[in-house]
Every structure is written in structure tokens, then in C-alpha cells.
Structure 1
Amino acid sequence: MTFRGWPSEALEFYEGLAADNSKTYWTARQAFYEEQVRGPGRELLAELEPEFGPGKIFRPYRDVRFSHDKTPYKTHLGIWLESGYYAQLSADGLAAGGGMYRMAPDQLDRYRRTLDDPRLGPALPDLLAGLEKAGVRIHGHDSLKTSPRGFPKDHPRADLLRHKGLTTWQEWEPAAWMGTATAKTRLVDFFRTSRPLIDWLNHHVGPAAK
């Protein structure tokens, strides 16, 4: 099957789920979810994988074991590509990101050691400046208030050393083009623009130890 976007009713489905996050709502509309929300998501994933590698669609059920919020269902569809890209559909529209949201301890160690290297470290700020010039937003996650232990507070890349995750992000408000193949085009363009950061992270940080 060819990806042709999501119908406007898919966004309305998530708007309704946000208002009534219950098994009753979900059960009554599960067939619609499978056909009109997850179905196009599977088609999109199949078309993205040849260029960006294997991926998956996240389960719609929330893990509520350790959460105060016990609502059972996610109010978005998440598509993850193992190479480091992400797409999301919700009532708010379409969103995309790339990078490493939360680095494991061994990844964080490699990230910081690379940034500290006087030969390798300066490349990342230059890379990020180029992405921002291209209109890509950069987000640091779980950031410390100051440089991590073992690094001087006046380190030339202290702002980046503080982050425990680093990603690009883009959001698009609901629009008619989301119901067409243009949705894939927008995502692919964003992924390609984000690729320098994803390539840097994959090369210098790599996967977490198992």
C-alpha cells in the first residue's frame, strides 16, 4: 500500500481521546484506529525504512506502573526509526525529531569525552549552528545547571556538556496537506536536514551497551 497521509478524522480521534481517555472510548473506535491511524502509519514506516533504516510503531498503551497519571492510552501515534529519527501524529498535528533523547551512562560518557577533545569537540557547536541557520530547533534534555563533575565550569563547550540528551524537533499545526503524501515529504525533508546531528551522535556516541 502507498502512504497517502492521514484523514482529518485521525486528528479528531486523538482530540476525542484526550477528552475521554477511557476503555469505553477506545473500544468503540479501535477499528478506526487500526484502519485510519495505525494503518497509514505502517505504510509511512514501510516507505521510510529503505532510506532511514528499520523502525517500529509504538504501542498505544501507556505504562502506568510508576506514574501518577493512570490514563491508559497515549494521545499520539509514535513512529521510531532505529537510526535516530522520530515522527508523531496527535490532535496538535504532526511533529518530527531526531537524535538521542536520553543517553545511557556509557553513551553520556562517550558524548562528554568527545566534546572535551580539543580536536573533535569543536565540530558539534559548528554543526548545530548550521542546523539552526537552516531553521532546525535544537533541544537539550535533562540538562545540568552547570558543567558535569570533572569538567571546568568555564569549559568552551560547557553549554553542551550539561545535556544528557540532544535532539532536533519540528512541529506542524493541523493542515490539509497531512491528508496527502506531502506529510511524508515534509518528514523526509526534516530528517535529511537533521542528518548531520544524527550522524555525529551515531558515530561518536553510538548505541547503549547491553
Structure 2
Amino acid sequence: MPRTFAGWNESAFDVLLRLEGEPSQEVMREVRKDRERLVRQPMVSLLHDLAWADPAFEDHSVWRYGKTPWWWQNQSAMARIARNVEIGLRFNLDGLQVQGAWWYADSDQISRFRAAVAAEASGSVLGNVVADLRGKGFEITGDLLKRAPREYPTDHPRAALLRHRSLLAVRYLGCDEWLQTPEVVDRVLAIYEELRPLLSWLTDHVAA
């Protein structure tokens, strides 16, 4: 199937500039049609092209509008890999970011995550995956405890990972000229390949 995504053109940034700061309800009403056409619909096309290229993106959502300005200033989308495991995309004035995320987890998932991190075989694999992503320029973040859970020793070799109640690997791509071209599809697919080991680990050890 031929690709439909052509990129975000400069007019998309003009729309987002009007929404900077604390835009009034009147401004949001005025730009709504242009924002839908120039900002959101390209994201819809991008997700469709990604889904045709890789089944990992088939179960996806592209957010609409919220009541607060943040939802107008940021166009987000996500593809579900497993329960609470996702690929996320966000387009705003800073350009595009892509992330692999495990978040909004219940207590059972958090317990499974900690057990898998603590175990030498599975935990060392995750440690290597995270280190590799960090070396490739991903920001490793999430909801963190101040210290490792009390049932684990404070000097555990993966104490830093044990602190996570969510785990995200985020890549900021900026807003260079390629963002205005279909090249975005291939760049996102390449980032997904880099994220695949993390997402597979989370699916196998946490999401089940």
C-alpha cells in the first residue's frame, strides 16, 4: 500500500505557535480546524503508514482534544504492544519524540517487574538493554521511588532499576527539515527497532 504521510509542513508550527502559553478559548476555537488538518491528521496518516509497515503499530490511537491547553499544544499518539506497554509519539513545537513505555501499572505488574529485575538472568538482560539505549541517546525515565523497595538490599547491583514504578525510554528527534517529509516513517520504524528489546522484555516479564 502506498504511503499517505507527507510530513508536517511549516503551517503546522504556525498553528502551534498560536497555542503557546495560555491560549484563550476563543483562540482554540479559531485554530481548531487548522489544527485538525495540519497537526492531527498528519499524525493519523503517520500511524496508518507505520501500521502497514509493521504489525506492532496496528493497535493504535491518535488523541483528540482535551480541555486544557496542553492537549492542544501536544499531538500525541500511541501503539499498544501489551498491557501497559506502549510505543508513544508526540509532536509539538519542539518537533517529534518517540518513546517506549511501561506505565500506569497495577501492583501485580510492579511486583513482577521487581522480581524480574532482581533475578540475575532476566535482570542482567534488562540492565544491558537500558544501558544500550542510554548509550544511543535515549533518556531513561519513569516514576521512581527514593530508594529500592525495602524487600531488596540497598546494595543490589540493579538497585536503580528496582526503584522504577514505570520505565520509559524517550528519544527526542527535534524539528529538522526531514520532519516535513515522508522520511519520518522510516525514522520512527528505526527507533522502534532500537526499542524492541526493551518492549519485548517488558512484554515477556511484566505484562503477562
TM-score (norm 2): 0.88
Aligned to 2:145: 144
Q: 2:181 aligned with 1:180, yes or no?
A: yes
Aligned residues: 199
For residues 152 and 176 of structure 1, the distance between their equivalents in structure 2, rounded to whole angstroms, comes to 49
Could you say what the CA RMSD is over the residues aligned between the two structures, in angstroms? 1.8
For residue 95 of structure 1, report the CA deviation from its aligned partner. 0.8
Equivalent pair of 1:85/1:99 in contact (CA under 8 Å): yes
Query: How far apart, in 2, do the equivalents of 1:105 and 1:136 lie?
Result: 30
Question: Which segments of 5 or more consecutive residues in structure 2 lack a partner in the other structure?
Answer: none
Query: What is the match of residue 45 of structure 1?
Result: 47
Task: Summarize the alignment of residues 1-210 of structure 1 with structure 2, pairs less than 5 Å apart.
Answer: 2-50=4-52, 51=54, 52=56, 53-62=58-67, 71=69, 73-83=71-81, 84-133=86-135, 135-206=136-207
Q: How far, CA to CA, are the matches of 1:149 and 1:59 in structure 2? A: 41
Distance in 2, matches of 1:71 and 1:187, equals: 26
Cα offsets for 1:57-114 (capped at 9, x unmatched): 112214xxxxxxx647431100110111011110111111112144322211110011
How far apart in 2 are the matches of 1:20 and 1:156?
45
Tell me: CA distance 1:77–1:149, structure 2 relative to 1, closer, same or farther (3 Å). same
After superposing on structure 2, the runs of 4+ consecutive aligned residues of structure 1 that deviate more than 6 Å are none
Superposed displacement of residue 171, structure 1: 1.1
**CA 1:119–1:172 in structure 2 vs 1: closer, same or farther (change >3 Å)?**
closer
Superposed CA deviations along residues 155-183 of structure 1, whole A, max 9, x for unmatched, are 12111000111111111222221111012
Alignment gaps of 5+ in structure 1: 63-69
Partner of 1:66: none
TM-score (norm 1): 0.87
- Pairwise CA distance, 1:20: 4.6
Larger relative helix fraction: 2
Is residue 22–residue 69 contact of structure 2 (8 Å, CA) maintained in 1?
Answer: no
Structure 1 position 154, deviation (Å): 1.0
CA distance 1:21–1:104, shift in 2 (3 Å): farther
